Amino acid sequence: MSTITLVRHGQANTAAQDEDSYDNLSDLGRQQAAWLGDHLDDTHEHFERVYCGTLRRHRQTATQMRAQARADIQQDARLNEMEFFTLANLLRDQQGIAMPQSREQFVTYMPMLLSKWQAGEIETPPETFQQFETRVNEALIDIAAGRGPALVVTSGGLIGMAFRQAMGLDITAFSRTCIAIMNTSVHRLHPIGDRLSMTQFNATPHLDRPDRQFAQTHL
Specify the DSSP class assigned to residue 140: H
Beta strand 186-192 with 4-8: parallel, antiparallel or unpaired? antiparallel
Q: What is the pLDDT along the chain (219 residues), one digit of tens a residue?
A: 899 999 999 999 888 788 999 999 999 999 999 999 999 999 999 999 999 999 999 999 999 999 999 999 999 999 999 999 999 999 999 999 998 887 778 889 999 999 999 999 999 999 999 999 999 999 999 999 999 999 999 999 999 999 999 999 999 999 999 999 999 999 999 988 888 899 999 999 999 999 999 999 998
Task: Compute and round to an integer the Cα radius of gyration of the chain.
Answer: 17
CB atoms within 10 A of CB 36: 26
Q: From CA 150, how far away is CA 51, in angstroms rounded?
A: 7
Distant-in-sequence, close-in-space partners of 158: CB < 8 Å, separation ≥ 6: 6, 53, 79, 80, 81, 82, 136
* Crossing angle (nearest 10°) for helices 103-118 and 84-95: 80
Q: From CA 174, how far away is CA 195, in angstroms rounded?
A: 19
Domains of the chain, first to last = 9-148+157-184+199-215 (3.40.50.1240)
Sign of CA dihedral 12, 133, 92, 77: positive
Three-state SS sequence of 80-135: CCCCHHHHHHHHHHHHCCCCCCCHHHHHHHHHHHHHHHHCCCCCCCCCCHHHHHHH
* pTM: predicted TM-score of the whole model, two decimal places: 0.94
Q: What number of residues does the chain have?
A: 219
